[in-house]
Each structure stands twice: as C-alpha cells, then as structure tokens.
Structure 1
C-alpha cells in the first residue's frame, strides 16, 4: 500500500494517510510508519507560562536548570555494557567457528541467534535513552515559553578520550534536536548560545575566573566563591543562569 491514500474520519479531524513504509531492524523486527496529513493541526497551541529557563548540559549530571533543578544522567550504556561485551564476545566466537567450518554466516543458526541478541541489547539502550530524552524535552517545552541551551559541538568534544564515553552515552545532540522541533511544533522559543565563559563567569557581578591573578575553574570544582563579590555558586546552576542571560541578550538584538 506504499504511496496510496486513504481517508479516515475520527469525528474531529480529516486525516489522510500518505506514504506507508515497512522496515526491518537489525533484530529482524518489522515496523510500519505512516505519513499523515490533515487540514487541522495535530497538536494544540500551548498556553503561555511566562517562564524562561536556561539549561546547562554536563557529564556530571545530565541537565541543570537556571532554577536549580538537577536531572541525573541515567548512563544507560554504562549500566549494560558488561552484558553487551559478553554477548559480543560470544558473537565473535560463533563467527570464527562458522568461518573455520566454512559455513555461511547467513545460514548459521547459532550466529544469527546471537546477532539478534546483540541487536536487541543495542536497541534497548537506544529506546531507553530516547524515552528519557523525549520525557525531559517535552517537560521543558510544556512548562516554559523560552528555553536556552549551549550550542555544544559533541563531535569536537568526542576527541577528548577521557570524556568520549560519557558524551556518547548522554545523547546531547539528540536532546537539542528534540527541543528544537518540539518548540517549533508547540510555538515555543528555543535558542542556543555560544558556551564561551558561561561556566567561568560570576552571574552576580560578571567577574570571569582566569582573569587577574585567578585560575580558571577545573572540572572538579563543583562549587566556588567569586573572588570579586564573594557570592557562593553551585557551578552548574551559575552556568545555566549565564546561558539564560546570553539567550535574552541574543533575543534583544534580533
């Protein structure tokens, strides 16, 4: 039925089914996706909240807001990587055995069974992470008219081998993509700002750590006191406040 059109009435909307796509994943499961069209919106415009928020994404926790809320990083991959590594070793062993016996991998039942098991483990991690990102992006969109985040370049950060696993596991890029399309869908405002000095700047007086005779904050410095105004900061909350301030200034100039 790919490419066909069928008309369905659900008492409220006139929904048209456009392209229908059938796909199979690496675990040999089949999925059907449909492109839908309607003369009326599928979602309703959200009510104004008069709330603005900045979010700081980091490896210690997933997200910290300018309001002080902290969302922990669930680290789905780290939790299951031992089981995954064991399953992958079994898969490699069965692959070597099949080749030694000159059997096609396609026709090797034990190899194919293990291949599907490994694929399901990867799929479980992917689904858990995707659900986590969807829940938290939707909550932010529902509760705030403006959301401001850092313009993180994950590909460049992955070059830091000490942080590569944490960055890959957290899904920042996907999270920012979800915020962008949901903001457009529900008519909210989502913008990203340059991250320069958002961590090192005191939100209260504007002093930048590393200037004068001071040293820059290290990753281990989770709390600090501004040497200029003596304000005590929780590192990530202060950064989130600076991110929101940058976003507001960016909107003023637009």
Structure 2
C-alpha cells in the first residue's frame, strides 16, 4: 500500500496530466508487485536464474515470500521454451482467499505460432437478444449467466445484509464477525462463478472466430453510453461486449489475423443487397420490434440481424480497401 501511494504521487509530479491520486476504500482483495532481476552475468537469462524463478515444475521462488507451491498452465511454457525472462510479478488474493501469481514474460521468439490462412471473412452483429449473429447466418444464443444466478445471489445478499446490521448493532467489527465473513465468502463465490463462466464463454467464442476467419469485422459499440439506458443496462453488462471485442483484438494480433471495428450507423436500416436506407424516400424506420423485413426498393427479404452483419462486413472491407 505504501509503495503504491508513493508511486502515485511520483507519477503526479512527473506527469502533469496524470491526475491527483485518489484514495481507495480497503477491500478484501489484496495484491502487491515485485520486479524480477538478473544480476549474475555468468548464468543464462531464463525462468530458472532470476530473483523470481522456478525451482521446479511445482515451486517458484519469490522475494520476501520464499519458495511457494503453485499450479496452473505455466507448465506448457516450461516444456516448450528455454529463453523466457520474468519481469514484473503480481501476487494477489481474491475476495474469498485464493492466491494468484501473475507474471510479465518476455522472449526473443513468439509464444504462439500464427494460424494458417483460411481465406474467409466474416461480419458479426452483437445484440442482447442473441449474443451475436454472423454474416453467414449463424446465430449464437446469449447464455445470460448473471440472470440464471440472479435469484440465488439476491437471496445470499439479503442474508449478508442482515448479518451486517446485526454486527453493527452489537458493536462488532465486520472483520471479526464470523457469521458475516462466512456469508461474504458465499456471495463472493457466486459472483466469481458468473465472472468465470462469462470469461470462458467469451474466450471460446473469440478464439473460434479468429481460428476460422482471416478477417473479423464488428461494430464499434459504446457500452458506457448504452449503459445509461436503465431498461437494457443489466442485459448489456451481463453479455460482456467490451470484453469480447478486446479479446478479439489481441487474439487477432497474436495469431496473425485481422480484426477491425466499424461505425454501426445505419447497419440495421440499410438493405445489404441494393443499399436502400429505411427512413428515407417516404419509408418508415425499422423499430426494435421489426425482426424481419422486406426491402421496399428491391423486395429482398431480410432477417434483421443477419442483414446488419452483412452491412458490417461490407463496411469493414471498404475500410480496408
């Protein structure tokens, strides 16, 4: 905490537009960072020789902590590469007491290989009804992870609130109230379950799109502005659009594919066949209830979201041209 406090004020003094540091409320989540160093010129620079280093496949040595046992996907790195350098390492504890070690790694060779080209291009339309619709006509259902657990979470939160009130009435500290702490962990685990389910789903969807297509085009959504609509705020937060677009962006760069976003203006209102825009030439604009429609200019029948995905792909191709 002291190190973060000093670093924030140093940044404020050096960078005039960094902003005044804000004090944050102490939570049950804790973390600290330490930097890896390689001082010996005689030893090779890898994951086994620095101040932060692996002792074997199950143990890691961290300054001030010593040797600790770890588990995770790091074994794939240890088996395949021998020139990895460990940089800044973050040790964190989540709200219900599980510890994690996160490392910044560097190497002279790529961590993954570029995927083979597929000569395939796709546009995707994101919406709350279905998670996404592709220009090929495929529809991915919205899993609605938060809504499935909403009732259980609300019940657990009400119980937590009652224990909070009871502890305050009796003048006990919340950190010393065992019943409150037990229920807090129950609530934290429920919320963490939703977070993990959503992240797994978004990871699987993003890597599938990147593997199977050379170009993926999506609409540039302003989630922050859309959250101001109270009728849709919970659905938008539950679906995780912004996180999904971020995953597509870094995975495309990682695997040698192309991902771009385009302005979504009129992608829903425009006919993908003839280019007629609804709301012009004495025609009415489509509303949210209009899930399918026929173009008054060329009589082409459209499924609303598939048509939008086709227009998104067309905009992306023009942007790249």
Same fold? TM cut 0.5: yes
Structure 1 residues 163, 213: closer, same or farther in 2, change over 3 A?
Answer: same
8 Å CA contact 2:209–2:216 kept in 1: the answer is yes
Structure 1 residues 11, 100: closer, same or farther in 2, change over 3 A?
Answer: closer
Match for residue 195 of structure 1?
A: 264
Match for residue 120 of structure 1?
A: 189
8 Å CA contact 1:13–1:40 kept in 2: the answer is no
Q: Secondary structure at the match of 1:18?
A: strand
Distance across 2 between alignment mates of 1:7 and 1:203: 53
1:210 equivalent in alignment to 2:279: yes
Structure 1 residues 128, 11: closer, same or farther in 2, change over 3 A?
Answer: closer
* Aligned-residue offset at 1:165: 1.1
Match of 1:7 among 47, 58, 74: 47
* Aligned-residue offset at 1:160: 1.2
Higher relative contact order (CA 8 A, sep 6+): 1
Distance across 1 between alignment mates of 2:128 and 2:281: 29
1:244 equivalent in alignment to 2:313: yes
1:109 equivalent in alignment to 2:182: no
Match of 1:135 among 204, 214, 227: 204
Q: Deviations over 1:47-66 (max 9, x none)?
A: 11101100000011000000
Distance across 2 between alignment mates of 1:88 and 1:221: 38
Distance across 1 between alignment mates of 2:47 and 2:192: 34
Q: Secondary structure at the match of 2:299?
A: coil
1:40 equivalent in alignment to 2:109: yes
1:153 equivalent in alignment to 2:185: no
Structure 1 residues 234, 11: closer, same or farther in 2, change over 3 A?
Answer: closer
Distance across 2 between alignment mates of 1:61 and 1:11: 39
* Aligned-residue offset at 1:208: 0.8
Distance across 2 between alignment mates of 1:236 and 1:7: 49
Q: Secondary structure at the match of 2:218?
A: strand
* Aligned-residue offset at 1:150: 0.3
Q: Secondary structure at the match of 2:264?
A: coil
Q: Secondary structure at the match of 2:84?
A: strand
Distance across 1 between alignment mates of 2:36 and 2:226: 45
Structure 1 residues 44, 90: closer, same or farther in 2, change over 3 A?
Answer: same
Q: Secondary structure at the match of 2:317?
A: helix
Q: TM-score, normalised by structure 1?
A: 0.96
Q: TM-score, normalised by structure 2?
A: 0.76
Q: Secondary structure at the match of 2:35?
A: coil
* Aligned-residue offset at 1:15: 2.1
Aligned residues: 252
Aligned-pair RMSD on alpha carbons? 1.4
* Aligned-residue offset at 1:2: 3.7
Match for residue 29 of structure 1?
A: 98
Q: Which has the larger radius of gyration?
A: 2
* Aligned-residue offset at 1:159: 1.2
Distance across 1 between alignment mates of 2:92 and 2:290: 48
Q: Which stretches in structure 1 are left out of the alignment for 5+ residues?
A: none
